[in-house]
Structure 1
Amino acid sequence: MSFVVTPPAPAAVPVAGGAPGAQFPVHRIYCVGRNYVEHAKEMGFTGREPPFFFMKPADAVLPVAEGMVGRMHYPSLTKDLHHEVELVVAIGQGGRNITAADAMKHVWGYAVGLDMTRRDLQGEAKKQGRPWCIGKGFDESAPIGPIRPAAQCQVGPDTAIVLDVNGAKCQASTIGKLIWSIPEIIEHVSAAWTLAPGDLIFTGTPEGVAAVVAGDTLSARIDGVGTLQVQVVQG
């Protein structure tokens, strides 16, 4: 195959608990909106609405190696950058119309991720009835820690998901408070798109989302999965 321009390097995320230097290739990034009850309320919604999804480009990932501090540049055009900590599901086996009963067979592993959001741009796009990709799919909008194989993780209803900003706790919940569970999410996503190995699914964020500024340090953890630390730097 001959390319007329040099193709960009493929997006990839380090793997934890595997061979040194192992990488997980990123195909697509799917994100679930308003998937924790209290977060839905703080965004002005209530009830178990049908799940909905948005996407980020694969190269929006900002991979952060285990034990390292990533550097996310404060993005352009916004004055209201928000943090959203999320459990990320890494797909190892693709498929379409996957049932919830079979869904976990398709999971390769898990990671801690941040769905960073230009909230002011997202809000303005919503008011105008326009797509809000500009609020969600910008460069470095998906910081992510190493992906750990599912067999090495302990993810259950009581699994804690926490985010601190500059040492102060901002988000804290458990995976059991997801409105739509991981198997249900995979069932719904695979009904709309053909899932492929390398797909990442950001499963939603708990309450407590708030703005950050250059100089802030975000420290996230999901028990049994891993940690993620990112410093926001001047863009």
Structure 2
Amino acid sequence: MDRKSRTSRSATLEETNEEVSLWKQICNSLSKLENVQENITTIVTSINHLHTTVNTEDGVPPRIGDKLTEYYKGGIDLTQHEAKTINDIIEKLSVLIALRDASEYSYGNGVLAFGTSVAAKQPKQKDKNEEWILAVVLNYNNEKNKYEVEDVDQDEFGQKQRYLLQPRNVIPIPSAEEAKSMLEFNSGQDVLALYPGTTCFYRAKVIASPSKVSRDALFEHHGLTVI
């Protein structure tokens, strides 16, 4: 995927952070679960009401029997949907907990942990310039001394590409909290900058630190932000 196609997409660091994404999915699933359970309650109430109108000694009238059958089928479908949604929520919560636990050891033993957001240098491809992209660490291969990372962006086929990269081609991105305690970049220092609203990095040079000028004047190319 070339820079032009990548820069046409809007993907902020927050949106591509796996923990944030998972939490949004969980909240969305919980909202759906609440709606399903409300519908189940409505059906159960309707079934109970119909039962109170039937005299079992006289049998169930066809009209009421058909309605009861309809309600029961609808109730079965909803309970199956409920169970599937609950299992999905539990699975996502398990992954989120694992990510939160792993984030505390992101820099343990010098190895980046699963889920760490990084700037990753794509392997050189024919007729394409090398690019630094926003990616997430999947694992570290001790034998090959390489990280497996996954591009946060999808390709033209809707797939997220994965790469095996040497450590020097994987740069961890500090969290917002970590960034607060970082020293300012010096004037003239080479950096990787992220195009606003994209997942593509490029090489830039610092003109002045934030303490001396506004952030809009940090780079020779206007509108670019250091991560």
> Above 0.5 in TM-score?
no
Larger strand fraction of residues: 1
Larger helix fraction of residues: 2
Larger Rg: 2
Shorter-chain TM-score: what band?
under 0.3
> Greater relative contact order: 1 or 2 (C-alpha under 8 angstroms, separation 6 or more)?
1
Normalized against structure 1, the TM-score is what?
0.22
